[in-house]
Structure 1
């Protein structure tokens, strides 16, 4: 009996028990509540197969979707002071940074990369919301300035992809100073005659919205993305009025002129390629006919004086 209990039964259980099955095979949609198989969700670029809700994706994955063949070069971020104010709440700011870096395997809440889209060079500054809510501190502001300089040096458009809760409170006034710095960086790109595009993703709020995120030559947004400055609840309590349905959503902002286009994630690469082609193409798409040749090719028509005279004779006869 002991031989069966100690040897046969464990062997039998090992054969029929699957211990290597991951626990996250299914994911629940935040919008419709449907359960989606993880492979189907990945194949659909984390867009719900039932309702089309766009779930959040990482910055690296987004870069792979945008660049040609998923290939790009990530630039090392500039070094800045790690904890300028020696801030501490329930944890030290330095500890929070260390935890976020271990969790995301990134040094900051932004990635600056360059590559080609539709054959044209492009510089991208993409936020990673998983890193302290994509908050903008000194390092993020300095990285955006670096991205603008890189775009000017390469003569390439700059695309910003914010996904942020706003300024990083652990850096106080220094984080708020990044708002004018990033605005100046955008002006640097525009003064060089280069396009500046923005892809607003969920969420884009706070000081990020109040600075570089709304200054694009063309502002794109993903469907259903939350875009605003203050939270809807704070606004309602301030103005003491009920906000309209869909307030601070991408579609609402498009209908009210704050966003130019709301584009499905599965079509974002093609749309960006078309926009960059329109901005960067120097030659016309079709053959240009010289004005003299075009005039010679027109059929002969009576002069204006002859037409007027004929009209007067017709009126006299009547």
Structure 2
């Protein structure tokens, strides 16, 4: 079932911390962060093993949410990534109270300037432009800067006749920017159309979660649409849809595997195989 409280979790695992016994004495000291618990299956995982498996649970295949920098490191060849527009930051176009302070606080905490990183690099030697959204920054919501950075990346790919790959992770449009946020849906989609007219390849990789205005625009316009296992993908929430149509929706609704079955996406790819899969796609279309 679609649960908003789950969307805003940074990941589906918790850190295993030291506990006290009934007498108040601490149990043997375990260095912080050494073990984590998968919230899906409950298995205790050694953090080093988790990192070596690209943040996927070895027991249940759960894909933990990861940041944009981590994903770029997993995907792009070492020392080939060139970042675009890294100093671009959001303003406060509708003077939403407290918005500027919230943005600055997030920049300090996440070391990101916005909810997307764009640039170009190589994937196993294949040239590509890439944009990676980050759910750690305002739940990956799409404001004017997110839309502008993605549009510029698409336009750069169009001009250089390169493919573009966009990893989506978003709660939708950013309400603090009002209509300026909604405008990004049309702007990014128009840029994709121009990219397509030039005969260039566009691949989207939908990660957990991809919802709202991002789903309703560039996320679902890929020539090839890939999703990570069990990723939440949708526009409105399941409960909202059920209340609107007065019908019970099937189990697994809005999950990657359900969308694959219904033909909305082309493939579900494990994170461990993602780089090789993208490499093959780029080779075929080069």
2:228 aligned with 1:219, yes or no? no
Q: Secondary structure at the match of 1:68?
A: coil
The structure with the largest alpha-carbon Rg is 1
Match of 1:69 in 2: 78
2:186 aligned with 1:191, yes or no? no
Contact 2:99/2:176 (8 A) holds in 1: yes
Higher helix proportion (structure 1 or 2): 1
Aligned length: 261
Contact 2:260/2:266 (8 A) holds in 1: yes
2:82 aligned with 1:82, yes or no? no
User: In structure 2, how many angstroms separate the alpha carbons of the residues matched to 1:81 and 1:219?
Assistant: 29
Cα deviation code 1:86-105 (max 9, x no counterpart): 102xxx00011011111110
Shift of 1:25: 1.8
User: In structure 1, how many angstroms separate the alpha carbons of the residues matched to 2:186 and 2:131?
Assistant: 17
Candidates 58, 66, 71, aligned match of 1:57 = 66
User: In structure 1, how many angstroms separate the alpha carbons of the residues matched to 2:67 and 2:133?
Assistant: 9
Contact 2:172/2:212 (8 A) holds in 1: yes
Shift of 1:219: 0.1
User: In structure 2, how many angstroms separate the alpha carbons of the residues matched to 1:238 and 1:151?
Assistant: 40
TM-score normalised to structure 1 length: 0.79
- In structure 2, stretches of 5+ residues that fail to align are 1-25
2:110 aligned with 1:107, yes or no? no
Cα deviation code 1:203-257 (max 9, x no counterpart): 0000000000000000000001000001112112222222111100000000000
2:171 aligned with 1:165, yes or no? yes
2:147 aligned with 1:141, yes or no? yes
Change in Cα spacing, 1:272 to 1:70, as seen in structure 2 (3 Å) is farther
Shift of 1:42: 0.6
User: In structure 1, how many angstroms separate the alpha carbons of the residues matched to 2:53 and 2:267?
Assistant: 21
2:49 aligned with 1:43, yes or no? no
User: In structure 2, how many angstroms separate the alpha carbons of the residues matched to 1:186 and 1:49?
Assistant: 37
TM-score normalised to structure 2 length: 0.87
Contact 1:47/1:53 (8 A) holds in 2: yes
- In structure 1, stretches of 5+ residues that fail to align are 1-16, 281-318
User: In structure 2, how many angstroms separate the alpha carbons of the residues matched to 1:143 and 1:78?
Assistant: 11
Change in Cα spacing, 1:118 to 1:108, as seen in structure 2 (3 Å) is same
Structural RMSD (CA): 1.8
Contact 2:85/2:149 (8 A) holds in 1: no
2:37 aligned with 1:28, yes or no? yes
Q: Secondary structure at the match of 1:202?
A: strand
- Choose between structure 1 and 2 for higher RCO, CA contacts under 8 A separated by at least 6 residues: 2
Higher strand proportion (structure 1 or 2): 2
User: In structure 2, how many angstroms separate the alpha carbons of the residues matched to 1:269 and 1:233?
Assistant: 35
